[in-house]
Chain A
Amino acid sequence: MTTLLAQTAGDAGIGEGIVFWILGPVALGAAIAMIFARNAVHSALFLVVTMLSLAVLYMMQQAPFLGFVQIIVYTGAVMMLFLFVLMLVGRDSSDSVVEVLRGQRVAALLLGLGLALLLVAGVGRTVFDVPSAGLGNDAANGNLPGIGKLIFTEYLFPFELTSALLITAALGAIVLAFAQKNRDAKRSQRETVIARLRGEHARISPLPGPGVYATANSVAVPALLPDGSIAPESLSELLEGHEVDEHPRAASDARSLTGRRPELPEGEQK
């Protein structure tokens, strides 16, 4: 690692070029594949590939701290959070192919192409041949001490603001994630009884069960009232709605079930 970083100090040689021309296309290809992957989980995995390549590119550019933070925070924490939410929301919630606005995709592709052309042309015309100063002075004591010194002196106030931001984000996530819990909380037995007596339910007692044990062995049998009439509330609407056909009885001839022909007597050919 130290030899690698020593090589990349200043204008690094051919090694950096090789790494860039391998990982740059990988990152770009994975990003494009992320857009066109129909499955959201595949998109997440392609994004992980892009982020890992970018982490190596950070390390090649004398930013080993950012490279490792990229791996730990982005591919480790953020993408796992994405995958968790994908699993919670439902992996099969793939995109609909229907275009809500007509021609929107083509227009978006054209706009993206135009943006890419504009940015590339701008970079190419303005900063392409700017000499690179390299991080020779700042990186002399190591990358991490330099960043730490900057954060705790010059950028101390923004750094403390980020703590407030993180606490707010954690609180917000908790509030949003637990909002549903209060709504359909279970009522206790006493509260249910009080609600019944107050008349929130259609009747105080539960519905009568079917007369299974009275006369027959089926839930379709209605319950009988004391005077012998049928209790209308014990009739199941589901069961009453369907006409039940009688099952076809098996023929008494057992051969018709097995499909075998009756044995012909000996000597009687057909």
Chain B
Amino acid sequence: MNPSYYLLLSALLFSVGAVGVLVRRNAIVVFMCIELMLNAVNLSLVTFARINGTLDGQVMAFFVMVVAAAEVVVGLAIIMSIFRTRRSSSVDDANLLKY
């Protein structure tokens, strides 16, 4: 099977995630869409590793996963502290850079 189909799937998933980031208002759902985009990029990295015949792409995807895990922890903590001060998790309400 031609591995480029994986790249097409990855491109479509990335576009879906980008649309989600633009459309949704709930900050947590926006965050989930960012995770979806990271996953799509991981899929393309794994596919490129297979096409090139080296493992570097897989190591890169591994690092992306580590960074994504750290990002999720900090991002969700930020969302929670915004929710505590403003009682809302909508991205429209957080319009003041004020603690």
Contacts and interface: CB of A to CB of B under 8 A. Distances in A.
A128 B1 CA distance: 12
Given A28-B9, A180-B84, A63 B22 contact: no
Given A20-B5, A169-B70, A176 B77 contact: yes
Contact of A151 (B18, B36, B62, B78): B62
B4 A127 contact: yes
A20 B31 contact: no
A123 B65 contact: no
Contact of A24 (B9, B61, B92): B9
Contacts of B36: 31, 34, 47, 50
A258 to B, nearest CB: 52
B96 interface: no
A82 B68 CA distance: 13
Nearest to B4: A128
Given A47-B36, A127-B4, A165-B67, A112 B16 contact: yes
A61 B50 contact: yes
Contacts, number: 245
Interface in B58-99: 58-59, 61-63, 65-74, 76-81, 83-84, 88-90, 92
Interface residues of A, number: 91
A129 B16 CA distance: 25
B32 A165 contact: no
A105 B5 CA distance: 29
Interface string A84-105: 0110111001111000100011
A109 B19 contact: yes
A105 B88 contact: no
Nearest to B52: A133
Interface stretch (A72-80, A199-207, A221-229, A246-254): A72-80
B39 A66 contact: no
Interface of A: 11-14, 16-17, 20, 24, 27-28, 31-32, 34-35, 40, 43-44, 47, 50-51, 54, 57-58, 61-63, 65-66, 69-70, 73-74, 77-78, 81-82, 85-86, 88-90, 93-96, 100, 104-105, 108-109, 111-113, 115-116, 119-120, 122-124, 127-130, 132-138, 143, 146-147, 150-151, 155, 158-159, 162, 165-166, 168-170, 172-173, 176-177, 179-180
Given A88-B83, A135-B53, 17 more contacts: A54-B42, A58-B42, A61-B49, A62-B50, A63-B61, A66-B62, A69-B62, A93-B90, A94-B26, A95-B24, A108-B23, A115-B18, A120-B8, A123-B7, A129-B4, A137-B53, A146-B55
6 contacts: A20-B5, A28-B13, A65-B58, A82-B76, A124-B8, A155-B63
Interface of B: 1-9, 11-20, 22-26, 28-29, 31-33, 35-36, 39, 42-43, 46-47, 49-56, 58-59, 61-63, 65-74, 76-81, 83-84, 88-90, 92
